[in-house]
Structure 1
Amino acid sequence: MDEGEPRPTPLTAEEAERILQQVGRGALDTRDPEVRRIVTEAQRALVRHSLWGDAHSTRHRRYLLWGIAFLVLWIVGLVVPFAVVFGWFG
């Protein structure tokens, strides 16, 4: 993909299933590198859909990162006052 090209939208589960059905029937020539790339993308999209459902994976990743950040700040908020009171900083 060139830098100037916009990023393609990800395949939906239905599109991925249709592509893989075409491959199963032998309607697509998988020796062509471009077709093989699309078939691989369809396989990945189907696996991603089976793991995450309909939601886009970046949204889940964002929620996970916010959750981890909240947890880290919460633990720091609990530990730092004790460290200051008991002189753990030197």
Structure 2
Amino acid sequence: ARMHDAAKADSSHWEEGADYDDDQLPYLKRDYDERLTEARQDAGYQLEELAGELGVDESDLLALEQGRATQAGVGGSVVRAAEEFLDVDLVEE
């Protein structure tokens, strides 16, 4: 019986009616990390300052600059905000 229970998917921890794909990470350019870092530095911002301007977590921006967006679960809204604010292309069209 335990094997059967373990194999059964338990979705009780999911929020009813929530759409977990609302803030999906888009396909990023291969060098998105370098592009973002360069754009931020060219604009004269420290990481902490840019996070404040964008209203996002500094850890999310750091993950982007380190090429860890997927692993860190960075939302697409963070990418879009950085793109727009710094006028840099990070997303594959």
More helix by share: 1
Report the TM-score when normalising by structure 1: 0.32
Between the two structures, name the one with larger relative contact order (CA 8 Å, sep ≥ 6): 2
